[in-house]
Amino acid sequence: MQYMIMNYVPAATAESAAPPEDMEAWGAYTKAMIDAGVMRGGNALKPGHTGTTVRLRDGRRDVHDGPYADSKEELGGYYIIEVPDLDAALQWAARNPAASSGAVEVRPILEY
The pLDDT of residue 25: 93
pTM of the predicted model, to two decimals? 0.85
- Mean pLDDT per 10-residue segment, the chain (112 residues): 94 69 92 98 91 90 80 89 97 95 94 87
In the chain the domains, ranked by start, together with CATH numbers, are: 2-45+71-108 (3.30.70.1060)
Q: How many CA atoms lie within 13 A of 18 on its CB side?
A: 19
The pLDDT of residue 14: 60
The pLDDT of residue 16: 64
The pLDDT of residue 17: 66
The pLDDT of residue 81: 98
